[in-house]
Amino acid sequence: MTKRPEKVADQDLVKVLAREVVHRVAPGELRTFRFTSEAYFADPRRALKGDRASDGVVGSGVTEVVEALTPVVLAVSSEVALYLAGLYAVRGASRAGRAASEAVRRLIRARSDDDAPGAQGPILELRTAEERHEVRRIVEEVMARNGYAEELAREIADALTEAGPEAGSEDP
């Protein structure tokens, strides 16, 4: 089972990765990304709990559920970053903390500000099918643990890895 981190050492890395995912799957939340990410890192459990309760106007008979994706995308990104940093720390025994984070940062496909939401291609340029599979598993686990639909988990996993669990090239 994946760790459930309260905080991640390299919050900047998590934010970079999460921003790319939000740009792809919930671009309307980019306006509030900074505020939401600050709230998430201050108290991840509270941010993940969010405002899933109804927020109806008294006496109106109208109830609206307010649910932002950014907090769960930050949770997903935290766990994916931890997995990849651990993987790269093991691969290069001399690499410690910051160097592993830099190795992970290089896996994030740069997006230009001109890229439209829904841009094609993976956010992470993973090297092996095993890495893609594990990232997808982490996404599905975190999303399920937080009560999100499988379809949304697949959309986020596709954005991170490619359009499907077995897409892309195999090990060189």
Annotate the chain with three-state secondary structure.
CCCCCCCCCCHHHHHHHHHHHHHHHCHHHHHHHHHHHHHHHHCHHHHHHCCCCECCCCCCCCCCECCCCHHHHHHHHHHHHHHHHHHHHHHCCCCCHHHHHHHHHHHECCCCCCCCCCCCCCCECCCCHHHHHHHHHHHHHHHHHCCCCHHHHHHHHHHHHCCCCCCCCCCC
* pTM for the model: 0.77
Least confident residue range of 46-60, 74-88, 95-109? 46-60
Rounded to a whole number, what is the distance in angstroms from the first to the last CA of the chain?
Answer: 28
Work out the number of other CB atoms within 10 angstroms of the CB of residue 58. Answer: 5
Work out the number of other CB atoms within 10 angstroms of the CB of residue 171. Answer: 8
- Contact (CB, 8 A) for 21 and 112: no
- Which residues, other chains included, contact 9 with Cβ-Cβ below 8 Å and sequence gap of 6+? 97, 101
d(CA 7, CA 40): 9
Output the pLDDT for position 13. 92
Q: How confident is the model at residue 114 (pLDDT cuts 50, 70, 90)?
A: low
pLDDT digits (tens, 9 = 90+) for 25-72: 999 999 999 999 999 999 999 999 875 443 333 343 443 334 689 999
